[in-house]
Amino acid sequence: MTTTTEIMNYLDSIWLQPYRDRFVSFWSDQHLNFGQRTTNRAEGQHALLKQYLGDSNYTLEKVVPLIDKLIRNQVTEIKGSIETSRSRTLGHHNKPIFNLLLKKVSHACLELISDEVNEIEKLKLYNRTCACRLYTSCGLPCACRLEP
């Protein structure tokens, strides 16, 4: 008779360890997540908030302005990043496919689309079909939508 521990060990060694990254990406790529597959960003924000707060004995009256300051600083950083994307063009983005996007979308967005353009050639070479991951997870055109 097989025990629960033996079954769990079997599942872990045969399925979970070798294929764990495929389980998560299969599920997460089916939903709009803007490329976020882990909790690292939330954990990073929590660490940053703790850094801002420093002492844990604050009242709500003191905590709210600190959180407001943190958010305002992040908004400033984000706006700076957007302005950089609007004012500079990276060399490998000087392709006709990007003409209507340049200086209107972020460099990160252009990188994702650039990777997907490169994916078109791989799909053709190996006679594969597009998984539409970029479209479903980020709302950006995937290889099959870019190819025509």
Please state, as a whole number, how many other Cβ atoms lie within 10 Å of the Cβ of residue 142. 21
- Is 60 within the bounds of a domain? no
In a domain, 43, yes or no: no
Q: Which domain holds residue 121?
A: 89-148
pLDDT digits (tens, 9 = 90+) for 85-117: 888 777 777 788 888 888 888 888 888 888 888
Q: Is residue 79 part of a domain?
A: no
* Residues 67 and 49: beta-carbon distance below 8 Å: yes
Q: How far apart are CA 27 and CA 22, in angstroms?
A: 9
Query: pLDDT tens across 4-47, in order?
Result: 888 888 888 888 788 766 666 666 667 777 777 777 888 888 88
Q: What is the pLDDT, as a whole number, of residue 73?
A: 93
Q: How far is Cα 133 from Cα 29, in angstroms, rounded to an integer?
A: 6
Q: pLDDT digits over 117-147, tens only?
A: 888 888 888 888 888 888 888 888 888 888 7
